[in-house]
RNA sequence: GGGAGGAUACUCAAGUGGUCAACGAGGGCAGACUGUAAAUCUGCUGGCGAAGCCUUCGGGGGUUCGAAUCCUCCUCCUCCCA
């Protein structure tokens, strides 16, 4: 509890409530902090992790960063890896039944997850458990006992299920067990608080009921707003490919951040960065979204790669995108083996060159790029798909705005 | 157990014998423009060294000069009644 000693309970509460969408029951955070203090023990703050994706993105980082705040105040992060529940699939926000993951996929994801988690969390105050350790051990009688604690009506009235039923989409029995499993996790690890995205409200509240039935104090539920993806519409997620990964290179993060719609700038500043409230407020009605967005993109890159890398990413963006210059560093492509000389054709066939560079998946796709005027060598546009070229060694091949390769001709 | 409906490209979704490599929308890509990889507009979006050819509409078999479209069997999916 060393971190917490310097601050009053009131101050701690303020920090912890910042950026939070909802606390259930409202107003219970401060009393809980007092209990922890008087009992002189860290709170156990639970976060369920669904290992269905292998990349942690800014959306999930919102919750992780909140968890980190708890850690900095001396509390314990209790991560529950849903290795067992991943084989069910969280129905939250889903309009369809989820595909089931294989054991191997889950293990691969978990492994990659753990490395990324500690870019945000403090490993010394983190406890990791796998819910398969207890859920897989349950006997059928235990499952019945668990299921007997909730009614079908309450389960089916939740939004996701109700909508599906109305749309004549299937709802499977095992999906209704998902919230119960997650609630059982809370019982198992004796969570004081459960963090989650706002779409986790129902699941987290089930945990309260189960804990109460088990004679525990029901966990406080803390819900964070969902970060919208770079498309500006859907929730950020890997499957929609609208995410910014915390492990991505700074240039990628910067560029992706620049591609969010202007209206999302303030939300991103608030949820995904440490920007002070004044800056967030200023960004809300900004006259110059470009400047605000650039500042945001820098903050994001700096958070995961440091200030210097963020500055470089900004410069990279300005030169490649705004001034359309070739970047300093780009992959090399040895084009020498592609050179032909058979009387009919002399040089490298441009279509093959594009395909070899990996800029197109097929020759047909390469032809399209060429015909659309996307391809150039050393700034000279090539629009004839039958063209053969003899570029100088070190010439720059470009396809579209962002794909570059330096040609090696010997 | 009984009845009804469905499976089309990345997704949704038209098409019910030739004019179908398959309408449309979303997504993606590209170009123009710009303040950005935003917005907007336009184009492209199965493969092949490509005026032509090849493969595709859940799977197999069949009818036909010709099938995504008709028949048949199979697989899978959904809904309604009980």
Percent of chain A with pLDDT over 70: 93
Predicted confidence band at A245 (pLDDT cuts at 50, 70, 90)? very high
| Residue A23 contacts strand B, CB under 7 A | no
Question: For position A231, what pLDDT does the model report?
Answer: 87
| Residue A402 contacts strand B, CB under 7 A | yes
Higher pLDDT, A55 or A307: A307
Predicted confidence band at A246 (pLDDT cuts at 50, 70, 90)? very high
| Residue A272 contacts strand B, CB under 7 A | no
The string of pLDDT tens digits covering residues A57-72 is 999 999 999 999 999 9
Closest-approach nucleotide to residue A360, Cα vs C1': B29
For the residues A140-155, what does the mean pLDDT come to? 90
| Spatial distance from the CA of A164 to the C1' of B7 (Å) | 20
Closest by CA position to A42, among listed A10, A3, A74, A79: A74
Three-state SS string across chain A, please?
CHHHHCCCHHHHHHHHHCCCCEEECCCCHHHHHHHHHHHCCCCEEEEEECCCCCCCEHHHHHHHHHHHHHHHCCCEEEEEECCCHHHCCCCCCCCCCCCCCCHHHHHHHHHHHHHHHCCCCCHHHEEEEECHHHHCCCCHHHHHHHHCCCCHHHHHHCHHHHHHHHCCCCCCHHHHHHHHHHHHHHHHHCCCEEEEEHHHHHHHHHHHHHHHHCCCCCCEEEEECCCECCCCCCECCCCCCCCCECCCCHHHHHHHHHCCCHHHHHHHHHHHCCCCHHHHHHHHCCCCHHHHHHHHHHHHHHHHHCHHHHHHHHHHHHHHHHCCCCCCCCCEEECHHHCEECCCCEEEEHHHHHHHCCCCCCHHHHHHHHHCCCEEECCEECCCCCCEECCCCCCEEEECCCEEEEEECC
| Spatial distance from the CA of A164 to the C1' of B5 (Å) | 18
∠ Cα A33 A37 A39 (to 5°): 115
Task: Give the span between the Cα atoms of A167 and A180, in whole angstroms.
Answer: 24
Write down which residues 324-353 in A have CB closer than 7 A to strand B: 340, 345, 349, 351-352
Neighbours of A13 (CB within 10 A): 18
Of A52-66, A244-258, A302-316, the one with minimum mean pLDDT is A52-66
For the residues A292-317, what does the mean pLDDT come to? 93
Higher pLDDT, A98 or A189: A189
| Residue A96 contacts strand B, CB under 7 A | no
| pLDDT at position A89 over 80 | no
Question: For position A90, what pLDDT does the model report?
Answer: 58
The string of pLDDT tens digits covering residues A337-376 is 999 888 778 899 999 999 999 999 999 999 999 999 999 9
Question: For position A10, what pLDDT does the model report?
Answer: 93
| Residue A293 contacts strand B, CB under 7 A | yes
Neighbours of A320 (CB within 10 A): 20
| Residue A231 contacts strand B, CB under 7 A | yes
| Residue A365 contacts strand B, CB under 7 A | yes
| pLDDT at position A167 over 50 | yes
Higher pLDDT, A397 or A282: A397
Task: Give the span between the Cα atoms of A341 and A350, in whole angstroms.
Answer: 14
Write down which residues 168-197 in A have CB closer than 7 A to strand B: 168-171
| pLDDT at position A4 over 50 | no
The string of pLDDT tens digits covering residues A179-222 is 999 999 999 999 999 999 998 999 999 999 999 999 999 999 99
| pLDDT at position A390 over 60 | yes
Six token digits for residue A74: 């001396």
| pLDDT at position A127 over 90 | yes
Yes or no: say if A99 and A145 are a contact pair by the CB < 8 Å rule.
no
Mean pLDDT of chain A: 88
Question: For position A101, what pLDDT does the model report?
Answer: 60
Question: For position A271, what pLDDT does the model report?
Answer: 92
Higher pLDDT, A109 or A10: A10
For the residues A74-95, what does the mean pLDDT come to? 76
For the residues A235-256, what does the mean pLDDT come to? 89
Higher pLDDT, A42 or A292: A42
The string of pLDDT tens digits covering residues A248-299 is 999 999 999 999 988 889 999 999 999 998 888 888 876 778 888 999 999 9
Residue nearest B38 (alpha carbon to C1'): A261
Yes or no: say if A73 and A16 are a contact pair by the CB < 8 Å rule.
yes
Residue nearest B80 (alpha carbon to C1'): A168
The β-bridge relationship of strands A76-81 and A44-49 is parallel
Yes or no: say if A395 and A376 are a contact pair by the CB < 8 Å rule.
no
């Amino acid at each position: 509890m060393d971190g917490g000693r310097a601050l009053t309970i009131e101050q701690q509460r303020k920090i912890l409530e910042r950026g939070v969408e909802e606390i259930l029951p409202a107003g219970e955070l401060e009393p809980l902090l007092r209990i922890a203090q008087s009992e002189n023990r860290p709170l156990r703050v639970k976060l369920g992790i669904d290992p269905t994706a292998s990349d942690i993105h800014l959306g999930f980082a919102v919750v992780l960063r909140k968890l980190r705040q708890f850690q900095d105040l001396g509390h314990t992060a209790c991560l529950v890896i849903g290795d067992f529940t991943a084989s069910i699939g969280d129905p939250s926000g889903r309009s369809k039944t989820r595909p089931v993951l294989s054991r191997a996929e889950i293990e691969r994801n978990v492994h990659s997850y753990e490395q990324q988690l500690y870019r945000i969390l403090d490993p010394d105050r983190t406890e990791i458990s796998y819910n398969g350790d207890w859920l897989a051990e349950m006997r059928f009688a235990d499952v019945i006992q668990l299921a007997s604690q909730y009614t079908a009506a309450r389960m089916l009235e939740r939004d996701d299920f109700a909508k599906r039923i109305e749309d004549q989409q299937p709802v499977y029995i095992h999906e209704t067990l998902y919230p119960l499993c997650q609630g059982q996790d809370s019982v198992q690890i004796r969570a004081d608080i459960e963090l989650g995205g706002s779409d986790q409200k129902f699941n987290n509240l089930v945990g309260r009921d189960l804990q109460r039935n088990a004679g525990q104090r029901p966990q406080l539920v803390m819900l964070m707003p969902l970060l919208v993806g770079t498309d500006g519409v859907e929730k950020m997620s890997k499957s929609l490919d609208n995410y910014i990964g915390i492990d991505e290179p700074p240039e990628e993060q910067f560029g992706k951040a620049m591609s969010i719609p202007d209206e999302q700038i303030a939300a991103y500043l608030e949820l995904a960065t440490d920007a002070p409230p004044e800056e967030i407020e200023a960004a809300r009605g900004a006259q110059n979204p470009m400047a605000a967005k650039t500042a945001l993109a820098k903050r994001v890159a700096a958070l995961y790669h440091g200030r210097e890398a963020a500055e470089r990413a900004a410069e990279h963006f300005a030169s490649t995108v705004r001034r359309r210059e070739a970047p300093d560093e780009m992959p090399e492509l040895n084009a020498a083996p592609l050179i032909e000389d058979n009387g009919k054709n002399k040089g490298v066939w441009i279509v093959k060159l594009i395909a070899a560079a990996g800029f197109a998946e097929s020759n047909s796709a390469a032809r399209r790029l060429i015909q659309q005027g996307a391809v150039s060598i050393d700034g000279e546009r090539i629009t004839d798909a039958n063209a053969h070229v003899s570029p100088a060694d070190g010439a720059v091949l470009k396809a579209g705005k962002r794909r570059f390769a330096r040609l090696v001709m010997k």
